[in-house]
Chain A
């Protein structure tokens, strides 16, 4: 005889249900006897979904623990046999290698720990820039795919179908080895405005060196952003209360651009510009965007933009045409209807997959290792691992970094989703 338990087993219910269990078991046994089928206690025990679940879970837990134990024991034995030190002490040791590009000061006298931060900042730098450019390009292409213009629509479609279906690694290698490597020597580099130059050493642009008082300009800039946000809130409140509109966008742009420029002039232009100069075979001065960095940024942006374009297209198409028609029926002009009716609803569909694309960009930036961009994986899981041999610690730290980024983003997404969810009445 089978016993049906209503509802689900939760941890909190566990104690209560166990005692209930005994009672119902007793009843069940009585019923079994009354029916003349005196089933053995053991099979009733095995066929009971509750105990079955417990046994099954215990087995799984045992298997997991046993696997973990085996891994730990084997790893320790293997490490001892290979005479590899363990622990995180290596992070304080002298690294002894150079990194071609770093946002924070790094020499070969710096520690492995500092090398880790160099890799991390490089990863975050290229990821942030690639997210920016791919979103920009992706929105343009996605909207172009819905354009009434046949030519534009087809070009956008061809773009998406080509770049979405070719491995990112191949695209990176293509940009790096087949395009950027063919650029001329610095001496014959392609001249660009402001003494910039594009050559096989990368893109060299003038360097802006802030002087005393630039901090104040920056502070004014931050204050202007805060002011613009407050202004937008005030304008919205006023519109809600009185129906009067305020030109928020123009006013905020004016504040954000105008105030810092004013401060810059008032402080007496506290900045010098260092133009790159060709000396011998290479450039001196200026900031160089290395070919590795350019190839990675280009490849990541173009590849991800093709995915974002599809997300944007799907999002806009998900808003039913009735919404546009209803807006028209209310006398709202098409431009405003798109901005206030279609886009907010499309964003609800667009944002979750868009975030996962942003996560993909961050994870995919690790492919820079193939073209020599010093990101976290290249510097830490590559060079540091090779020098120290401490595979377990190094790879664990690397994975932990990516996991932290991913999980933080998905937590944020869950919060965002619950906030944006359609509340049905």
Chain B
């Protein structure tokens, strides 16, 4: 039996019509995002005018009017000259290595390469052998880096007074973070401890360092630390700053980690006790792995703060990146009205790349570590 065909029933689905013109395309985007309401339109126009006023001079200064080549200040003394990139070009070696001897700079390069080769697989969650890699970076690398940078084992000694630039910035930041992590974990555990003496000692330590500005800590480590040690002991200026930075950042790290410890439900502690684990076992196997995972973004943020704070060492006369850039403004061969701005923009760009990269990484980890346990 053949199905009767009825003329007004369509046998096939009609093709979907495109949405009305007002709902798509560039015009619609403009209308929803820039000119939705009169107020919105006014804001768009105001911000647009502001950008049109501010951006062209900045871009001209940075690129089109900039002096890219030259051997001395003469090149940058032109009327209406923009950034003096020739200055950065000429001093680039100093900005990276400080006054590290020219023929020994390969040692610094080698350390930089080792650092990158070690850190990149550690930062990528999919790469295996995390534990081995971490041990390598935390135990073997510092020793090798120390020998390479300072000398010994046949390498000529390079005094830390000659170190400078990005090298010092990275040394201070990395030593600060590597030292502050274990110290911070211990302090955080101490603050959570039920033993009154340990708890009090940790609280006093943490609150003291968090309550004072880093600059007074650096003053203290450069002026007072020598007084605290037995008469006659004298140790390196950079090392003194490192001690101050490490103690300072460990207090901040401790508070970040405490946040993680407090976020672990009580059942985890009780569960660990129920299967017969002692304090250190339960911390090492149950609590800390979870707590540290939660606070990885916080740890990275602390690291960003520390990285920015390393610039403060210039106040006690250590030439980190910012310090060495500033020192070079006094070079009569390059003194010009645009030199300081150029140097600062360069230093700012380097710091920005590092900090922005780390903050993006922390966001990425935050999303990745989202295991669905977050309270909603």
Contacts and interface: CB of A to CB of B under 8 A. Distances in A.
Interface of A: 8-9, 11, 49, 53, 56-58, 60-61, 64, 70-71, 74-75, 77-79, 81, 147-152, 155, 161-162, 164-171, 173-174, 177-179, 181-182, 363-364, 366-367, 369-370, 377, 381, 385, 391-392, 395, 398-399, 402-403, 406-407, 410
A391 B195 CA distance: 35
B188 to A, nearest CB: 16
Contacts of B210: 406
Contacts of B216: 366, 377, 381, 395, 398-399, 402
**Interface residues of A: mostly helix, strand, loop or mixed?**
helix
Contacts of B208: 403
A313 B229 CA distance: 48
Interface string B294-333: 0000000000100011111011000000100010010000
Given A162-B352, A165-B355, A399-B216, A170 B196 contact: no
Interface in B312-370: 312, 314-315, 322, 326, 329, 337, 340-341, 344-345, 347-348, 351-352, 355-356, 359
Contact of A169 (B196, B229, B322): B322
Given A77-B231, A166-B351, A169-B311, 4 more contacts: A74-B229, A155-B47, A369-B315, A403-B212
A166 B352 contact: yes
A367 B341 contact: no
Contacts of B311: 167, 169-170
Nearest to A71: B228
Interface in B14-71: 33-34, 36, 40, 43-44, 47-48, 51
A167 B329 contact: no
B224 interface: yes
Contacts of A9: 194-195
B236 interface: no
Contact of B308 (A79, A167, A381): A167
A373 B36 CA distance: 47
Given A148-B36, A165-B356, A406 B198 contact: no
Contacts of B228: 70-71, 74-75
B224 A391 contact: yes
A151 B344 contact: no
Nearest to B41: A149
Contacts of A150: 33-34
Contacts of A398: 216, 219
| 9 closest Cβ pairs, A-B complex | A406-B211, A165-B355, A178-B341, A150-B33, A57-B197, A363-B213, A167-B308, A167-B311, A403-B211
Interface of B: 33-34, 36, 40, 43-44, 47-48, 51, 194-198, 201, 207-208, 210-216, 219-220, 223-224, 226-231, 279, 304, 308-312, 314-315, 322, 326, 329, 337, 340-341, 344-345, 347-348, 351-352, 355-356, 359
13 contacts: A64-B201, A148-B40, A151-B48, A166-B355, A170-B348, A170-B351, A366-B215, A366-B216, A370-B315, A392-B227, A395-B219, A395-B223, A403-B212
B207 A407 contact: yes
Contact of A377 (B219, B227, B326, B351): B219
A77 B232 CA distance: 11
**Interface residues of B: mostly helix, strand, loop or mixed?**
helix
A171 B40 CA distance: 32
Contacts of B215: 366-367, 369, 377
A370 B322 CA distance: 12
Contacts of A70: 228
Nearest to B352: A165
B170 to A, nearest CB: 14
A75 B227 CA distance: 5
A168 B197 contact: no
A363 B213 CA distance: 5
B356 A161 contact: yes
B340 A181 contact: yes
A61 B348 CA distance: 45
Contacts of A60: 197-198, 201
Nearest to B207: A407
Given A165-B304, A174-B348, A11 B227 contact: no
B220 A53 contact: no
Contacts of B344: 170, 173-174, 177-178
Contacts of A167: 308-311, 322, 351
A369 B348 CA distance: 20
B358 to A, nearest CB: 9
Nearest to A320: B376
B212 A174 contact: no
Nearest to B50: A155
A392 B211 contact: no
A366 B216 CA distance: 8
